[in-house]
Chains A and B, each alone.
Chain A
Amino acid sequence: MTAPSGPATVTGPTAEIPSSTRRRRRPLTAALPTGTALVFLLPAALLFGFFVLYPMVTALTYSLYSWRGTSQESFVGLGNFVQLFTAEPYATQVPRAFAHNLLLFAGSMVVQNSVGLLLAVVLHRRRRFKRLFQVLYTMPYLVSPLVIGYLWSLLLSPLFGPVNALLKTVGLEALALPWLGDPSTALWVVVLVTAWQWVGFPLLLYGAALGGLDQSLEEAAELDGATARQRFWHITLPLLTPIIGTVSVLTFIFSMEAFPIPYALGGSTGSPAGATDVMSLLFYRTAFQSGSSNAIGTSSAIAILLFLVIFGLSVAFNRWFRRAERRLT
């Protein structure tokens, strides 16, 4: 196979916006013809359509009916949804849970994804122990979520947990708070535990992306005297923009749907005093822990509402992000 011989890559001092040429070049290549693309898509589409899309649509219809216990009754259209905004307890609990989910997302972006990016960049440049660190940092992800929450509530227990004991021996007694008993700290504990479990996710994805980056641009910039920080901000980061977008969208979706960790740390009511209540906990309570006749209808409406919010926000985010990506690169 001959080496590609297209227009010359931009190398050298003007490596500030390196990939614009690459981006501009793409439309010139013959993309995959639609027919072939559809053939490639077919297996996934069939599998997905049958086992995911069809149940999703069915679940949507659940929310449009009223239920008597486990039997479906009459079509009520948006009645279940209206109830979520007008009837108690949903009128207060739904917005509160949404707010908590968004806080979880913000917290995850700041803690989990930033730390993940930082670690990925640091490890990318290292030789020694790189794989060891990758394994160690991702280990929490490998353990079943069933126990992660329990382990941390044990560690953070004000009576028996080593965290507070350690803080006391070190002399930071003021910091030995009842982490999971204080509404102002409880949600952040959920953020931190989630980040602790999931840091491997951005770590590995960014690591894989970094590995695929063109080294020549960075080398050229280095020869020109750019510092590590400049190289990172002006070369590496713009190149990572697409994968950052992907990781962000996925983090958003996972944050909105978080269940095992909030459940293990705060129980089904989002203790303490509802401070860790999130949408999936609300769904769980409504569907399985209430004696309400229309539990299935209401809880389906909650889930569909969550779906619509996630869908809408991620479409908006994608659109904004593509625009930002184009501007950045």
Chain B
Amino acid sequence: MHRRRVLASTAAVAAAVLALSACAPSDDAPDPGADGGATSAAGSEDCTEPVALDVWSWRTEDKDAYEAIFDVFEEANPCITVNFQAYKNTEYNQILQTGLTGSDGPDVAQVRSYGLLQPLVEGGNLAPLDDVVPALAEFDDAILDGARGKEDDALYGVPFATQTIQVFYNTAIFEEHGLEEPETWEDFIAINDTLEGAGVTPLAVGAKDAWFVPTVHDALTAAQYGGADFQQALREGSTDFNDPAYVASIQTFADLEQYMPDDVVGVGYTDAQVLFTSGAAAMFAGGSYELAFFQSSNPELELGVFQVPPPEGSALDHPVSPGYADGNWGLSAASDNTEEAETLLNWLADAEFGQMVANDLKQFSPVPGVEFDEPLMQEMWDLYQENPAPYLLLVDYRYGDPVGTDLMGEGGQQLFLGELDAAGVASKIQDGLSAWWTPGQ
């Protein structure tokens, strides 16, 4: 029977593969199922029963670093082992949903921030942490917004990272063309003109990936539309997105297109990264999460950062760094190991953990009192502390459908394609958001 033959051949192939696997590098380092807790001395302390906590995350890039970090926790807490599991980002929300509502779920999990946190809060899947983690009271208020339930204002997570947005630049290229960090808007334009004239792409931007567009827009024009003041005005209801300052910022964004790669809507986010790391472009407007990547992909790249100064007549007269909370550590309401999980959460709000996040993950920890060895990181953090602003569309405008960042993403693309003008993009955002939001909410 031919099927038997197929099966037999397949079995033969399988056998060959398994034989091969026996000869393959034998050190299956992350042996599936074994946790990273090799250092936990089982039974050396008076542990009634060792507890294993399942911790989930979407940061597959950080898996190794987190495992090392949690080793430190396990040493300090010998009765607790941490099973850290990172899932692919695009499916994470769905996995988390089944995990928190079904069996075999996580005890502690990374959850999204601001608007995207709300479905879990409303579903009752997370436990409020105001009393559980007293250290939260010390955190920055704007960052804690990312962990707040919209309706009851309780905190449902321990923020794990702050991201800031600014412009990275290639110091070698700047030196080569005698350029310095801009103090005024005219300086910034002059820099761009010089670079363009010299055949270097001034701004590495890729508009094909819609999520990247609002990031670049905020990096370049947040001060122009008013940063935190604008956010406040929207919350109070004294303006909406058709505000002239906001429209002007979008117009500026359009005007800067000439300094971006040709056909910028066809250029992808990774293309833009390559442009920058390979030295073909001089500046990259993006988030602090880029830093670790830039450094690891091209160690010879010399980086600097600056904030874009606003033009004359802007809502603000000084530059700002937009920032936001990237996500939180949440406690599953269905966890069986609440006590141990709470211990872990308190540790996650502690400066020791925060310092490791800064050192090993090269991310900004929202835990107060963390210092940054890396001078560039310290500089970025200082800039943010001095002049913070919210990454507006992500922070306040993801509480419904459509989300602000998608609207700006699509609108920005239409702007660059010539389908919409600046006022059109602004009203697209306003109209889209009006499906679930009115100024004053």
Residues of A near any B CB (own CB < 8 A): 68-71, 87-89, 153, 157-160, 177-183, 267-269, 271-274, 285-293, 295-296, 298
Contact = CB atoms under 8 A, between A and B. Distances in A.
A89 B124 contact: no
B100 interface: yes
Interface residues of B, number: 50
A286 B401 contact: yes
B338 interface: no
Question: 10 tightest A-B contacts by CB?
Answer: A181-B266, A178-B266, A291-B115, A70-B123, A69-B122, A69-B123, A290-B401, A178-B263, A69-B119, A181-B265
A290 B119 CA distance: 9
Contact of B413 (A68, A158, A272, A292): A272
A274 B265 CA distance: 12
A140 B258 CA distance: 38
Contacts of B410: 269, 271, 273-274
B contact face: mostly helix, strand, loop, or mixed? helix
Nearest to A90: B401
6 contacts: A158-B267, A159-B274, A267-B211, A269-B410, A271-B209, A291-B398
Interface stretch (B3-11, B69-77, B428-436): B428-436
A299 to B, nearest CB: 9
Given A158-B263, A267-B209, A88 B431 contact: yes
Contacts of A289: 93, 116, 403, 406
A71 B118 CA distance: 12
Given A153-B268, A290-B401, A291-B401, A87 B435 contact: yes
Q: Which of B114, B119, B410, B431 has the most C-beta atoms of chain A within 10 angstroms of its own C-beta? A: B119
B413 A291 contact: no
B251 interface: no
B417 interface: yes
Contacts of B114: 291
Interface string B403-417: 100100110011001
Given A70-B101, A159-B261, A289-B116, A269 B398 contact: no
A88 B118 contact: no
Contacts of B117: 291
B419 interface: yes
Contacts of B208: 153, 180-181, 267, 271-272
A273 B125 contact: no
Nearest to B201: A159
Nearest to B119: A69
Contacts of B417: 182-183, 272-273
Most chain B beta-carbon neighbours within 10 Å: one of A267, A269, A286, A287: A269
B266 A291 contact: no
Contacts of A158: 261-263, 266-267
Given A178-B267, A288-B93, 9 more contacts: A71-B123, A71-B124, A183-B417, A269-B410, A272-B413, A272-B417, A273-B410, A290-B400, A291-B115
A291 B116 contact: yes
Contacts of B93: 287-289
Interface in B201-221: 207-211
Interface in B260-276: 261-268, 271, 274-275
B296 interface: no
Contacts of A179: 266
A157 B267 contact: yes
Contacts of A290: 115-116, 398, 400-403
Interface string B68-105: 00000000000000000000000001100100110000
Contacts of A183: 417, 419
B392 interface: no
B209 A298 contact: no
A293 B266 contact: no
B413 A157 contact: no
Nearest to B118: A291
Contacts of A291: 114-119, 398-401, 403
B119 A182 contact: no
Contacts of A71: 122-124
Contacts of B271: 157, 159-160
A138 B91 CA distance: 28
Nearest to A153: B268
A296 to B, nearest CB: 8
Contacts of A272: 207-208, 265-266, 413, 417
B120 interface: yes
Nearest to A286: B401
Contacts of B413: 271-273
Contacts of A295: 119, 401
Contacts of B109: none
A158 B260 CA distance: 13
Nearest to A183: B417
B421 to A, nearest CB: 14
Contact of A69 (B121, B263, B398, B431): B121
A287 B123 CA distance: 14
> Which of B123, B275, B401 is packed against the most chain A CB atoms within 10 Å?
B401
Contacts of A269: 210-211, 406, 409-410
A287 B97 CA distance: 11
B250 to A, nearest CB: 15
A59 to B, nearest CB: 14
Contacts of B399: 291-292
Most chain-A CB neighbours within 10 Å: which of B265, B275, B431?
A: B265
Given A69-B118, A89-B402, A271-B413, A292 B263 contact: no
Q: Count chain A CB atoms within 10 A of each CB in B124, B271, B398 and give the residue with the most.
A: B271
A89 B410 CA distance: 13
